[in-house]
Structure 1
Amino acid sequence: MDLNPLMKWIIESPTLFAQKYPVVERSPFSGTTIPDVHFRQSYSRLGFLYQDLCAQLFNAHPDYTIEAEELQLTDSGKTLGAIDFIVHNQRESTLEHWEVAVKFYLLFNQRWYGPNAQDRLDKKLNHMLTRQLELSKHQIFMQRFPQWTALTHHLLMQGRLYINPFMEQQTPEECLGYSLNQSQIQGYWCHHSQTSGIGSPLYPLEKHQWLTGAHQNIPYDDTLAERFTHCISDSGQFWFIVPDSWPDC
């Protein structure tokens, strides 16, 4: 797997939201020379690969030094959560808590659902803001790491948003008071029964291809009606094909 295109995508792609502290609009890796990428482990989920690539980009950036990564916070044997990154911003002379995520959401009835409809953009954003970024403000954290009590907080949330061109829906402009980055509403989705209206060959994507759309020219199998499939068309348009029962499946 060539990871350089994934690195380039992370560096250059806007986030899902416009700038509003602690949410950032651009990745912090602008100007980074893509490092020699290596696998640090095997990845069962795209999110794990994404976080690892972010770690390698932090390490490659001249302004950043990672102080801690995937820092588990526990209290009397109970896991409170894990902090993605504590980094030292040498240019600004600040210590920063970063949470990172890459997500893909489909608009249905004014809500953004993941392909797994148990996941929703509003739920994820709320979790990141009120749980993940709050971990470094927790009393246990401050007691154990007094050297990191004066932190700024930052949420990097990249990905893509999808609308259904065969349904009339008003596209929301914000989520929980955070303005959506309109440039990232760039994908389409449809139910399996609507695929005849696409009018263009589709090619399925493996999870690591979801970011860039690189594919193996294997045609979409339209018998896969009971599962969601992420595809790209000949013209480069991203499509999610979901079961007709979605999002109630």
Structure 2
Amino acid sequence: MVECAHCKTKENGFMCLLPKQTLACFVHHEVRDLAWAIGSPGLLPGLPMAPDDDWYAELLHAYWPRLLALDRQPALLQRHCAHCRRLGQYFETLWHFFLLDSPRFQVLGYNRQQVVAGKTLGAFDFLLWDSQHMRVEHWELSVKFYLITDTATPEDSALGINPCDRLRRKLDHMQQHQLRLSEQPVVRRALISEGLMPEHKRLILKGRLFYPQHTTLPERAPGTLGRWGHELPDAQFKAQHKLGWMTGGRATTERRDRKNYQDSEGNWYVRVEKEWNQ
């Protein structure tokens, strides 16, 4: 039996929530991805409304025996995720499974559309009951992979492989719109009438930041960063299917998927065309 050891180890002087050796103990992709979705560090430290990494470690530690059991009998998790084709959908579905499966949480609303007078005002990713804190919470989730184009201002210069996807814009949308949906008076009244008004909000943003190929990576936990460039990576890097971008191990030969690469040491590299962000 693999021990969780509080789900933290020391790597290169940093406390790593989910070291690659821990992920490697899982046989099945879905279980490995579920462990990563729960236990990986947040994309950026110190974001308003985002949990700190100790909170993720606590969830992972409590759920660890169940992850080992799922790896022995993964059919339930695999069926739950079988419909997923997009990475964001897959990430959200993994969290949905965890929340349904965890004795701590009760899902009260999932992708709940808030429609008033025929107009959709927004949607809640999750409304849930946290039995540990005895309160209703509102969670918004996202998994993102951004390329840093200016190391002097990483957050403001972070672009997705689709350059229309900008980190700053994503944060503004999650913090100023999605997580404030319950503050709209008409929505607030509806939630109060149903006993669903959240007392707490959480921004769960995971993923990986990629820095230019020949720059020095900042000091962060291993596995949270990668590199990007215009050249093909070395032969030991294998292109990963889109659903494998979280933990790897899903090599693909499909031309359309030759964007995000991983090597056997767990290093990541994104290749984009020279005119990618123009």
* Category of TM-score, reference length = shorter chain: 0.7 to 0.9
Contact conserved, 1:201 with 1:219, CA < 8 A, in 2? no
Which has the larger strand fraction?
A: 1
For the residues of structure 1 that align with 2:217 and 2:49, how far apart are their CA atoms? 27
Query: CA, structure 1 residues 104+20, in 2 after alignment: closer, same or farther (shift >3 Å)?
Result: closer
The one of 202, 220, 224 equivalent to 1:182 is 220
Residue 59 (structure 1) shift: 1.5
Residue 85 (structure 1) shift: 0.4
- Is 1:145 the counterpart of 2:191? The answer is yes
| Secondary structure in 2 matching 1:116 | coil
Contact conserved, 1:142 with 1:148, CA < 8 A, in 2? no
The gaps in structure 1 that reach 5 residues or longer are: 172-180
What is the aligned-residue identity percentage? 24
Pairing of 1:193-232 with structure 2 (within 5 A): 194-195=231-232, 198-216=233-251, 229-232=259-262
Q: Match of 2:178?
A: 132
Taking structure 1 as the reference length, the TM-score comes to: 0.82
Name the aligned partner's letter for residue 39 of structure 2: E
| Secondary structure in 2 matching 1:101 | strand
Q: Match of 1:118?
A: 164
Taking structure 2 as the reference length, the TM-score comes to: 0.74
Query: CA, structure 1 residues 182+122, in 2 after alignment: closer, same or farther (shift >3 Å)?
Result: farther
Pairing of 1:31-50 with structure 2 (within 5 A): 31-32=62-63, 33-34=66-67, 36-37=76-77, 38-39=79-80, 42-50=83-91
Residue 39 (structure 1) shift: 2.5
Name the aligned partner's letter for residue 90 of structure 1: S
Contact conserved, 2:208 with 2:226, CA < 8 A, in 1? yes
Contact conserved, 1:29 with 1:61, CA < 8 A, in 2? no
The one of 34, 40, 56 equivalent to 1:7 is 34
Residue 228 (structure 1) shift: 6.2
| Secondary structure in 1 matching 2:80 | coil
For the residues of structure 1 that align with 2:59 and 2:212, how far apart are their CA atoms? 32
Residue 240 (structure 1) shift: 0.6
Q: Match of 2:213?
A: 165
Task: Judge which range, 114-123 or 4-13, deviates more.
Answer: 4-13
For the residues of structure 1 that align with 2:248 and 2:217, how far apart are their CA atoms? 27
Name the aligned partner's letter for residue 74 of structure 1: V
Q: Match of 2:123?
A: 82
Residue 114 (structure 1) shift: 0.5
| Secondary structure in 1 matching 2:266 | coil
For the residues of structure 2 that align with 1:14 and 1:106, how far apart are their CA atoms? 18
Name the aligned partner's letter for residue 229 of structure 1: K
| Secondary structure in 2 matching 1:88 | strand
Post-superposition CA distance 1:20-55 (Å, at most 9, x none): 541123337322123541336622311111111101
Contact conserved, 1:202 with 1:220, CA < 8 A, in 2? no
Q: Match of 1:106?
A: 147
The gaps in structure 2 that reach 5 residues or longer are: 1-27, 71-75
